[in-house]
Amino acid sequence: MRRYNPHSVYFLAAILMLWVALLKVPPVIAAPSEKDSQESQWSEEMVRQRAAEAAAAIKQARQAVSNDNARALGVELNDLQTRVRQWVELESAYEGLLTEIKRKAEQVVDAGTDQQNLESIRRKALPEPPYPLSYYDELLVETETLRQNIDITDMALNAAQRSAAESRMQLNSAQDRLERFRRRSDPRQSPPDRWEMEGLQLRVQLVETLRRLHLQRSENIQLQKQQAATRAERITDLAERVRAGLAYDQADLDRQLNTLSQMREEVDKAL
């Protein structure tokens, strides 16, 4: 088995190359304030860049997984494999955040279009009454569907907000661990110490990115809820206008009864 001389230039060069390949960690981002969370450090361009950096780091870390490298760094082979997983988790968090950022941009555009359509509905001049019962029922069904969607959105919003709060606590814990390690470690860190510190830095980056992901998801869900609530309000208003001009129509009633009969048959078959 090949042995390494710790005083050899080749050994020192090998260690340097390993740090470049394995421990090239992007600068740790300071925990953002609520104001900072909306600024350039979380822009789509910046998040995309960091995702690309993480992808490159994954490739380097995978290439460096070997028993020789583990011995040179003073760690176990499993530690090298764990570092790969850390980078994979970080890249996944960046990609998830990038998706939520793009979704927000899409929702803003959709919200503007929906608002125009809903205002058109509000100002719409209905034809002269009477109105058939089937039309009124359609509006009621649409309103109830929207309200159910709002309830589901509320549950998703609560879950995202809880995740954001948990990520905030995890971030505090990760930052505390990193700070305690820095205070007690020797400025001239040994390879294993530096390895541990870089792992703690990666953990801070991961939970911070996950927190921002949950915050962005919460914001997106809130916007989705507002859109559904506005639409439900407009449809309810339209339904009230129609209800005031309802008229009895035997043919329309027969169609409604036939529809209900078909629905019952489908339910009976499913049981």
Does residue 2 surpass a pLDDT of 80?
A: no
Instruction: For 158-196, write each residue's pLDDT tens digit.
Output: 999 999 999 999 999 999 999 999 988 876 778 888 889
Is the confidence at residue 151, as pLDDT, over 60?
yes
Residues spanned by the domain of 80: 9-270
Select the more confidently predicted residue: 69 or 254: 69
- 4 is a domain residue: no
- What pLDDT is attached to residue 177? 95
Question: Residue 7: what pLDDT?
Answer: 39
Q: Does 3 map to a domain?
A: no
Mean pLDDT for the stretch of residues 118-144: 74
Residue 1 is assigned to a structural domain of this protein: no
Q: Is residue 47 part of a domain?
A: yes
Q: Establish if 60 belongs to a structural domain.
A: yes
Count of structural domains within the chain: 1
Q: Is the pLDDT of residue 155 over 60?
A: yes
Which pLDDT score is estimated for 132? 78
Asked, for residue 164, whether it belongs to a domain, the answer is yes
pTM, 2 dp: 0.72
At 108-124, the pLDDT tens digits run: 777 666 666 656 655 55
* Residue 2, in any domain of the structure: no
Q: What is the pLDDT of residue 24?
A: 43
* C-alpha 100 chain-centroid distance: 5
